[in-house]
Amino acid sequence: MIIFLSALLCVLLITLWISVLKIRRTVGELRESVRLSRCMLLNESSASMKRLGLPGLIKETNHLIDRYRDYLDVESGLSNQLEAMLGSIQEAVIIFNDQHVIEFVNDSAQRLFQRARALKGARLEAALRSPKLLDFLNAYRVDQSPKQQEVSVERLGATLWFEVSCVEVRGVSAQNSESTLLVLHDITRLKELEEVRRDFVANVSHELRTPLTIIKGFAETLVEDHVTLPVDTRARFLDKIVDNAQRLHVLVEDLLVLSRLESKPEQIQPTVQSLHQLLEETVEQYLPRLNAEGQTMKLDFDERVGEFAFDRFRIQQVFDNLIENAFRYAPDFTLLTVSARCDELKSKVLCTVTDDGPGIPPKDIPHLFERFYRVDKGRSRESGGTGLGLSIIKHIVQQHGGSVSVESESGQGAAFHFSLPYVQSQTGE
């Protein structure tokens, strides 16, 4: 009897041990399935496991895993959509954590600040070198209120300007983690235009002030002392007033021309016509102004240049301005050449006005086509120059699709070049 009971006890213990092993193996597999977010297939459904409720536990766990995977799919989809949306906008977008480590950058930010190396994972200070930006972010951390400010960022030796704003976001890299979303709107071009506008207003004010002051001074003197002033003095004062009024008129006209060219490029109206005929007429009208001391004016025209499309009035303006510059700033020239030749390889007509006058200092050449720039300011004003002629030339040529340049050395004359597209027919004709 004792032997039987002992044997029965051994059988029960072995059965229990096998059940425990199965349960442990099942629990291990269940744990691994949860870790991998993968549903578990129950191969065995013994009575002991059913009594312990393991099949039901596995079924509910599989259900939770399915729901979790669905949640991850939705979250991943939303994350991808958000990333695609942020990546497609033009503003630079950067998300960084409380340690200033960058967690996300869109394509605009990557292109703008670092083309060769990925910004994600770098520190914000290394990517954006701007003390003003760091001050802005520190101020935001203090009061946590949405802010907007203009800051400058140094990049490759240049200064970029941005209108920046930031807001706190959560759960970017980890659940309940705090990050900051920084948006940078590039306003560098606007800053440059603002600087140009300020310079333009300052230059115009300066150019207007001198003739207005002269007119005002002489007019007041004529009004106050007209009885005592000698006749010849009154005549001289009136000549000064007329000269400066004319100077104001020319300046205003040039400003209006420049404004129209910049605001309404469609004013350029090319038609197919003869450049040769235009240049012959232009040279002929300046011949009477040559002095009798050996001055010569020559037309050098390439016969390969046939009729092509250009705006006659505007191109006449270009040649007139360049020739007038030669008479004004190189009055002692001996040879003034107007030329046009065909560059068939590039489908362009290359035009040049060359004089053998005193030339232009090298330091002035890069600035010649800027508004109000003068090589000899005093002499230019005395001769009636506004400092806008070459700027007008540049706009006219560029709106034709060409380019301008100048070659000169002090004492060896100057050559002003411009190109025009050699378009021999027009759409619709």
**Domain of 221: which CATH number?**
1.10.287.130
Would you say residue 338 lies in a domain? yes
The packing angle between helices 54-88 and 2-36, to 10°, is 10
Residue pLDDT, tens place only, 366-404: 888 887 777 765 544 555 566 788 888 998 999 899 999
Going by pLDDT thresholds of 50, 70 and 90, the confidence category of residue 211 is: confident
The DSSP-derived string for 252-316 is: HHHHHHHHHHHH-GGG---EEE-HHHHHHHHHHHHGGGS-TTT-EEEEEE-TT---EEE-HHHHH
- Residue 208 shares a structural domain with residue 298: no
Averaged pLDDT for residues 173-192 = 77
Would you say residue 194 lies in a domain? no
- Check residues 88 and 94 and name the one with the higher pLDDT: 94
Would you say residue 427 lies in a domain? no
- Residue 19 shares a structural domain with residue 56: yes
Asked if 218 and 128 touch (Cβ cutoff 8 Å), the reply is no
β-bridge pairing 335-343 and 296-301:
parallel
Would you say residue 162 lies in a domain? yes
Would you say residue 191 lies in a domain? no
Return the pLDDT at 130.
Answer: 79
Overall pTM surpassing 0.95 (yes/no): no
Return the pLDDT at 406.
Answer: 92
Task: List Cα–Cα distances, 154 to 23, 113, 129, 157, in angstroms.
Answer: 65, 10, 6, 6
Residue pLDDT, tens place only, 288-341: 888 867 889 999 999 889 999 999 999 998 999 899 888 888 888 899 999 999
Averaged pLDDT for residues 161-180 = 73
| Token representation of residue 238 | 């009136």
- Residue 209 shares a structural domain with residue 290: no
| Token representation of residue 31 | 């744990």
What is the distance between the alpha carbons of residues 334 and 326, in angstroms, rounded to a whole number? 11
Q: In the predicted model, is pLDDT for residue 22 greater than 80?
A: no
Return the CATH number at 358.
3.30.565.10
Q: In the predicted model, is pLDDT for residue 105 greater than 90?
A: no
> Ranked by mean pLDDT, which of 53-67, 138-152, 237-251, 259-273 comes out on top?
237-251
Return the pLDDT at 429.
Answer: 42
What is the distance between the alpha carbons of residues 128 and 136, in angstroms, rounded to a whole number? 13
- Residue 209 shares a structural domain with residue 274: no
For tokens 């489908």, what's the residue? 347
Q: In the predicted model, is pLDDT for residue 175 greater than 60?
A: no
What is the distance between the alpha carbons of residues 209 and 248, in angstroms, rounded to a whole number? 10
Averaged pLDDT for residues 99-112 = 79
Which of 186, 215, 238 is at the close of a domain? 186
Position 347, amino acid: S
Residue pLDDT, tens place only, 409-426: 888 889 999 999 998 765
For tokens 């549903």, what's the residue? 39
Spell out the residues 6+ positions from residue 374 whose beta carbon is closer than 8 angstroms to its own: 380, 381, 385, 387
Which of 59, 80, 101 is at the close of a domain? 80
Chain-centroid distance, C-alpha 347: 29
Q: How many domains does the chain have?
A: 4
- Residue 244 shares a structural domain with residue 276: no
- Residue 227 shares a structural domain with residue 318: no
Asked if 419 and 356 touch (Cβ cutoff 8 Å), the reply is no
- Residue 292 shares a structural domain with residue 275: yes
Helix (H) or strand (E) holding 369: none
What is the distance between the alpha carbons of residues 97 and 105, in angstroms, rounded to a whole number? 12
- Residue 414 shares a structural domain with residue 289: yes
For tokens 């490759």, what's the residue? 156
What is the distance between the alpha carbons of residues 374 and 372, in angstroms, rounded to a whole number? 6
- Residue 120 shares a structural domain with residue 252: no
Which of 214, 237, 263 is at the close of a domain? 263
Nearest to 356, CA basis, from 327, 325, 330, 328: 330
Going by pLDDT thresholds of 50, 70 and 90, the confidence category of residue 201 is: confident
Q: In the predicted model, is pLDDT for residue 113 greater than 90?
A: no
- Residue 125 shares a structural domain with residue 240: no
Would you say residue 135 lies in a domain? yes
Give the chain's mean pLDDT.
Answer: 78
Q: In the predicted model, is pLDDT for residue 239 greater than 60?
A: yes
Domain that holds residue 354: 268-421
What is the distance between the alpha carbons of residues 386 and 383, in angstroms, rounded to a whole number? 9
Which residue(s) pair with 92 in the sheet? 184
- Check residues 358 and 69 and name the one with the higher pLDDT: 358
For tokens 């104001």, what's the residue? 248
- Residue 214 shares a structural domain with residue 272: no
Would you say residue 193 lies in a domain? no
Averaged pLDDT for residues 335-356 = 90
What is the distance between the alpha carbons of residues 141 and 135, in angstroms, rounded to a whole number? 10
- Residue 9 shares a structural domain with residue 98: no
> Ranked by mean pLDDT, which of 107-111, 218-222, 264-268, 343-347 comes out on top?
218-222
